[in-house]
Amino acid sequence: MRAAGAAGARDGVGAVIRAPRARGRVSSTTVVRAVSRRDMHAMSIVLPGLIVTSSPFVFSDDAVAAAAAVTTRCPRAEAPLRSTKTSPSRVIKGCWQLSGGHGGDRATDRTRGDAAVEDFASFVDAGISTFDTGPEACGYGDSELIIGEYLKTEHARKHRDEIQVFTKLCCVGREQSNMTKDWVMANVDRPRKRLGVDKIDMVQMYWNEYNQRGYVDAALFLTDLKHKGVIDAVSLTNFDTQRMKEMLDAGAEISTNQIQYSLLDRRPEKVMKQFCESTGVGLLPYGVVAGGLLSDRYLDAPPDKVVMNTSSLRKYASVVGNVGGYSWYQSLLKCLRAVADKHNTSIANVASKWVLESPVVPAVILGARNATHIPDHLALFDFSLDDADRDSIARVLAGGEQPTQDAYTWERGGKW
């Protein structure tokens, strides 16, 4: 199943980012080419992380140098994930960009071939040693194979104890109506062969059709493989809280749920965050800077100058329309810029830090087309948000539309 290909972008309906008229707010409209909800559902299967043509984390050369001098390695999560011995790096390198079609500017493209393999060494040297990938069924193309090539290198062998690979089990076809242990084993063996490993650090299950309840059996089959030493962590992606609870109640040893979570998309706070706090299940957020929309690049940008030229930007433009519209979105950017000025950092880093400081978030997934993003990622650990920062952000968030449903409900046809 192609989850985020060009067809989804071409077939999306024309849409607007419009501030709702409720509560007396002034409507402000930006016409952009957005994607339909059906395309959103398809694209979100692949957990896009960040797809931007250049880094949304904007620093001067001096600021980059200063950040690198202060923080030279990304820290790891303080405690192992639930039911595992795995502690990921707090920034996880998202590898959807290695699936093809995300090269962007040729001068900076390192998403394929030897360049893609070589870049992993720079991330590992910086402590960003956990990689998030997936099979072709989730839209990740050859990214598992590229990681597998890196794992063969002398550099990877030297740092093998640090490196972790998180991949996915994508249940999107007929197997959902007849889930078997053999099917799960075959689809875990495939990434083991592609990666060239005996044991996978994490397998994250995606399930397309909730009316087929085989996801409980699949989670239990994965738990059996965990006990046999085939995988270390049994995890989920894009599941809601109800289904997470069903699997836990059945005895599945769920460690995390990878989900969209950002200042623009706070649906995980509706019920999922509280559930995670009570059970110890962690959240691995993607989309934390909304494909670049939560960055200095768009601060004070006139609506008619905002070009939605990537599938990720089109996706998150639809999110902006749901949560408050363009005028509200600009007020959020202004607030984040004030916080960023206080800490000598970027809007994108403030947005990422807000998510990363959640007690249920052991790590965030940040995609990158090349290793030049590394100083930006390390700068996340050179400041902390204080109560005044969080309060000022909360006041702006209170002025937007509040989510009414759980995470990943809207993409499946429900309400936001």
How far apart are alpha carbons 131 and 101 in whole angstroms? Answer: 19
How far apart are alpha carbons 81 and 389 in whole angstroms? Answer: 29
In the predicted model, what is the mean pLDDT of the chain?
82
DSSP state of 89: B
What pLDDT score does 96 carry?
63
Is residue 1, in this structure, part of any structural domain at all?
A: no
| Mean pLDDT of all residues in 113-142 | 82
Backbone angles phi, psi at 352, to 5 degrees: -70, -40
Indicate if the alpha-carbon torsion angle 155, 119, 68, 356 is positive or negative. negative
The answer to whether the pTM exceeds 0.75 is yes
Is residue 98, in this structure, part of any structural domain at all?
A: yes
| Between 327 and 104, residue with greater pLDDT | 327
Is residue 59, in this structure, part of any structural domain at all?
A: yes
| Between 330 and 120, residue with greater pLDDT | 330
How many domains does the chain fold into? Answer: 1
Query: Pick from 4, 15, 67, 80: which is nearest to 40 by CA?
Result: 4
pLDDT classification of 136: cutoffs 50, 70, 90 = confident
| Mean pLDDT of all residues in 316-324 | 89
| Mean pLDDT of all residues in 96-110 | 52
Q: Which domain holds residue 144?
A: 6-412
Is residue 139, in this structure, part of any structural domain at all?
A: yes
What pLDDT score does 258 carry?
98
Summarize pLDDT for 48-64 with one digit per residue, the tens: 333 333 444 444 454 44
Query: Pick from 302, 319, 331: which is nearest to 407 by CA?
Result: 319
164 within 8 A of 131, measured Cβ to Cβ = yes
Tokens at 42, concatenated: 């398809």
pLDDT classification of 316: cutoffs 50, 70, 90 = confident
CATH number, domain at 178? 3.20.20.100
pLDDT classification of 218: cutoffs 50, 70, 90 = very high
345 within 8 A of 379, measured Cβ to Cβ = yes
Query: Pick from 126, 110, 109, 121: which is nearest to 67 by CA?
Result: 126
Instruction: Examine the pLDDT at 370 and tell me if it is beyond 80.
Output: no
**Radius of gyration (C-alpha) of the chain in whole angstroms:** 20
